[in-house]
């Protein structure tokens, strides 16, 4: 009996040790695998966050730029119309002939709107018929004040009648009043355009109306120049301009506005949003145009999530589980055949080493990608100069602490005309060439940045006085004048206006930029392609001074 018990103890003790070792291996391996998987998913989430921040910033800036471009175009055409002493329908057609839907995505028509009272409707209709609008038939709405479309040029190819009283549309009427009261550009609330209301409901889309006042010589109010814009077409165009987001269908976007107490969708574009993802990837930003504020919501799609994940976390988990199973088998075999198990331990160790190398390669690629994303966040993709974020970081470090600095705010003269006549490819060539001039003109410690559009900034350090800053600005202008851009058979001169502001004790980045901006508009006002240094006697000039 005693011998039997001793034999059982001998057999049970090794089995207990073997299973204890196996359990320990399993627990340790599962813990390491879980920790690695969690870390991998955290890296993927950070990559997705960087992409969403970048796409949101790019799309918000693209929408603001597009709307401002539309407003600048309307202002230029309004000035040309106001300069005509006796405007006719033929004059209006000639002035607006270069405007097209290709250059203005979403645009429907350019309309000259004239106000009238009830008693003046007949005389107004007769006046414009005599000036070429032979089919004009004014259709006054209820009320004593009216705003009639007397001349119209279709941009999207659809025939749109004249004579409509825009005061019958509350959204359009409010935009007209804002434009006249402010004396400048205004945007209406979103609504369905009158002609679009004849379409099937599924084809209707919310739009908005842009308006600028038209003045005769002597600053006498003549009426308004307005343009309807389809919101979905504008948002789709702005999203397509962001090459990476459009190529991969990485984001879904919605443009919203508050109409009273109701939030309505002005436009939605791109692919369907992902169903299963962390809601921390959603992005919300606000776009302010005049008195109108829109909310831009951005959502990730399955394409973006696939791009950031690339299956790395799942692969790492499966490989680690395989290694766990192998190690468990090895520990079990050690109890019966040590020599044979040692060979398998060597094989498992080699597999583990390969797995570590693969993980290190994955981590290296993720770090490289993170550095690339950081560079893209701080750099303008077209010119290679610092963007607004990169400039802001440098301004925060210097302004208020170092007074031996100067900020040069540069705006290219006639750039919009180049875009309108030669197209955006010519505009991009001029922007890239001017960026090269700036890089050659600044020192190693200085910063050259592009704020957007045709606006640049140079932040110089170790500036002893204003004269040194002015000398830098004049050197830039001289280099620009000596470096025209060839476009086919034409030679396009590069001209710019520069405003200079130097640092002060207790200064802020916003104040320094404001002073330079004021000086730049003074330079444009005094004749363009010149330099002006800010002084306290200057007052802020509006953008229309250009």
**How high is the pLDDT of residue 134?**
92
Whole-angstrom distance, CA of residue 520 vs CA of residue 66: 23
The Cα diameter of the chain in Å comes to 130
Residues 418 and 505 both lie in one domain: yes
Whole-angstrom distance, CA of residue 400 vs CA of residue 396: 8
CB of 106 closer than 8 Å to CB of 234: yes
**Could you tell me if residue 153 is inside a domain?**
no
Residues 447 and 468 both lie in one domain: yes
Domain limits at 514?
Answer: 388-545
**Could you tell me if residue 102 is inside a domain?**
no
Whole-angstrom distance, CA of residue 232 vs CA of residue 483: 41
276 flagged as catalytic: no
Whole-angstrom distance, CA of residue 174 vs CA of residue 172: 5
CB half-sphere exposure, 341, CA atoms < 13 A = 13
Residues 373 and 393 both lie in one domain: no
CB of 529 closer than 8 Å to CB of 394: no
CB of 175 closer than 8 Å to CB of 209: yes
Residues 462 and 333 both lie in one domain: no
**Could you tell me if residue 148 is inside a domain?**
no
The secondary structure of residue 161, as a DSSP letter, is -
Residues 454 and 484 both lie in one domain: yes
| End-to-end Cα, the chain, rounded Å | 110
Residues 367 and 486 both lie in one domain: no
**Could you tell me if residue 155 is inside a domain?**
no
Question: Last residue of some domain: 329, 346, 378?
Answer: 378
Residues 353 and 484 both lie in one domain: no
Residues 320 and 371 both lie in one domain: yes
Residues 445 and 329 both lie in one domain: no
CB of 521 closer than 8 Å to CB of 540: yes
**Could you tell me if residue 268 is inside a domain?**
no
CB half-sphere exposure, 133, CA atoms < 13 A = 26
Question: Last residue of some domain: 378, 412, 433?
Answer: 378
**How high is the pLDDT of residue 543?**
43
Whole-angstrom distance, CA of residue 439 vs CA of residue 453: 18
What is the Cα gyration radius of the chain? Answer: 33
pLDDT in tens, the chain (546 residues): 666 666 656 555 556 666 676 777 667 767 776 777 677 778 878 888 888 888 888 888 888 888 888 888 889 999 999 989 899 999 999 998 877 767 788 888 999 999 999 999 999 999 999 999 999 999 998 888 999 999 999 888 888 899 999 999 999 999 999 999 998 999 999 888 888 888 898 888 888 899 999 998 888 999 999 999 988 887 777 767 664 454 557 788 887 877 767 777 777 765 577 788 888 888 899 888 767 788 888 888 877 777 777 555 566 667 667 777 777 777 667 656 666 666 676 777 777 787 777 887 767 676 767 666 666 678 999 999 999 999 999 999 999 888 899 999 999 999 999 989 889 898 999 999 999 999 998 888 899 999 989 999 999 999 999 999 999 999 999 999 998 998 888 888 899 999 999 999 889 999 999 999 999 999 999 988 899 999 988 865 544 444
Closest C-alpha among 366, 395, 396, 380 to residue 434: 380
CB of 299 closer than 8 Å to CB of 252: yes
Question: Last residue of some domain: 378, 413, 433?
Answer: 378
Residues 415 and 508 both lie in one domain: yes
Cα-based distances in Å from 307 to 41, 245, 248, 299: 13, 11, 9, 15
**Could you tell me if residue 21 is inside a domain?**
yes
**Could you tell me if residue 355 is inside a domain?**
yes
**Could you tell me if residue 59 is inside a domain?**
no
Counting the structural domains of the chain, the total is: 2
Residues 324 and 415 both lie in one domain: no
For tokens 């920790």, the residue is: 35
406: domain CATH number is: 3.30.70.270
**How high is the pLDDT of residue 244?**
45
Residues 316 and 459 both lie in one domain: no
CB of 172 closer than 8 Å to CB of 166: yes
Q: Which of the following is catalytic: 58, 233, 380, 454? A: 454
Closest C-alpha among 254, 255, 256 to residue 272: 254
């Amino acid at each position: 009996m005693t011998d039997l018990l001793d034999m059982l103890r001998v057999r049970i003790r090794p089995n207990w040790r073997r299973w204890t070792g196996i359990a320990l291996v399993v627990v340790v391996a599962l813990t390491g695998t879980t920790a690695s998987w969690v870390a991998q998913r955290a890296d993927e989430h950070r990559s997705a966050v960087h992409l969403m921040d970048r796409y949101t910033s790019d799309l918000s800036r693209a929408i603001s730029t597009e709307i401002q471009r539309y407003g600048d175009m309307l202002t230029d055409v309004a000035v040309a119309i106001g300069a005509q002493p006796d405007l006719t329908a033929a004059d209006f057609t000639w002035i607006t002939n270069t405007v097209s839907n290709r250059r203005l995505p979403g645009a429907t028509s350019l309309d000259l709107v004239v106000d009238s009272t009830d008693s003046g409707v007949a005389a107004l209709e007769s006046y414009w018929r005599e000036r070429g609008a032979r089919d004009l038939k004014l259709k006054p709405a209820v009320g004593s004040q009216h705003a009639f479309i007397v001349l119209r040029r279709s941009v999207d190819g659809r025939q749109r009648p004249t004579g409509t009283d825009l005061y019958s549309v509350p959204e359009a009427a409010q935009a007209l009043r804002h434009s006249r009261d402010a004396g400048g550009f205004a945007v209406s609330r979103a609504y369905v355009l009158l002609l679009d209301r004849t379409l099937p409901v599924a084809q209707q889309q919310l739009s908005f109306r842009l308006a600028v006042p038209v003045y005769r010589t002597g600053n006498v109010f003549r009426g308004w120049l307005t343009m309807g814009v389809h919101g979905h077409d504008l948002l789709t165009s702005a999203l397509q301009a962001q090459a990476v987001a459009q190529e991969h269908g990485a984001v879904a976007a919605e443009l919203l506005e508050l109409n009273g107490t109701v939030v309505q969708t002005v436009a939605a574009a791109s692919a369907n949003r992902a169903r299963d993802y962390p809601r921390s990837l959603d992005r919300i930003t606000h776009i302010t145009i005049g008195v109108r504020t829109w909310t831009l919501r951005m959502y990730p799609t399955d394409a973006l999530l696939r791009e950031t994940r690339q299956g790395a976390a799942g692969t790492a988990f499966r490989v680690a589980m395989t290694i766990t199973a192998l190690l468990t088998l090895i520990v079990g075999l050690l109890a019966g055949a040590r020599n044979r198990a040692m060979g398998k331990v060597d094989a498992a160790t080699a597999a583990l080493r390969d797995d570590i190398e693969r993980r290190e390669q994955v981590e290296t690629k993720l770090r490289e990608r993170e550095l690339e994303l950081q560079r893209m966040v701080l750099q303008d993709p077209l010119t290679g100069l610092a963007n607004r974020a990169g400039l802001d970081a440098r301004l925060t470090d210097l302004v208020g602490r170092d007074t031996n600095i100067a900020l040069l705010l540069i705006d290219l003269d006639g750039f919009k005309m180049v875009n309108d006549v030669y197209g955006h490819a010519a505009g991009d060539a001029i922007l890239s060439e001017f960026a090269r001039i700036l890089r050659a003109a600044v020192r190693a410690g200085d910063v050259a940045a592009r704020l957007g559009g045709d606006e640049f900034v140079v932040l110089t350090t170790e500036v002893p006085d204003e004269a040194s800053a002015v000398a830098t600005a004049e050197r830039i202008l001289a280099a620009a004048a000596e470096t025209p851009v060839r476009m086919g058979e034409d030679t396009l001169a590069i001209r710019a206006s520069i405003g200079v502001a130097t640092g002060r004790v207790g200064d802020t980045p916003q104040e320094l930029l404001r002073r330079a901006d004021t000086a730049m508009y003074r330079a444009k006002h005094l004749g363009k392609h010149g330099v002006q240094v800010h002084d306290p006697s200057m007052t802020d000039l509006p953008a229309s001074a250009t």
